[in-house]
Amino acid sequence: MATSSSSHPSPTDTDRRVMVLFGLPACGKNHVGLFLARHYGFAFHDGDDDLPEPMRQAILRKEVATPEMRDAHIANIVSRIHSLRKDHDRIAVAAALFKQQHRARIRKAFPDIQMVWVKATASLLHERLASRQNHLADVAYAEKIFTHFESPGNEEEHDVLENDRCDAHIRKQLEDLVAYSLNNGRTM
């Protein structure tokens, strides 16, 4: 379900933005997405809500998702973004998106999208994972799947947000990302 803040002015058509936040489990994708909702008027959607049931069950069994499960998840996310765009001008979607091919598939569906790799230190990842309750990805599962993450290379258009748990630092980075996006003709 999308979460948004209604205290922000409605953007114009030239201010339409879609930001996809991706990265390892516990890097802070949802934290950044909710920050965008609270402070910038974005509708926020957690891509975990779009996990196909077989993938959700595999994760609960601590099994690595198959390529077919991941493909189905990406199809669900693309469909969700299409749906959210009908009702919202500013959208932030958080999803791990482990594979470059899946990030490319989302970009192909939405060429104007802004992909943001949310990064955190290994110690922060482990701390956040250990503190989670009732979450699909616990420490053991996350460590099992970390090696499956394909870091984006130079050929993959993306921005980086360093999550050091400091909201002031996150805010500054988001302001810079928005300014960069607008100055380079991207509609985020």
Interatomic CA distance for residues 187 and 19, integer angstroms: 10
Specify the pTM.
Answer: 0.86
Interatomic CA distance for residues 125 and 111, integer angstroms: 30
**Short-list 77, 65, 76, 59, CA closest to 21:** 77
The Cα angle at residue 25 between residues 23 and 26, in degrees rounded to 5: 105
Cα 34 off chain centre by? 11
pLDDT digits (tens, 9 = 90+) for 37-90: 998 889 999 999 999 999 999 999 999 999 999 999 999 999 999 999 999 999
Tokens of 34: 């909710």
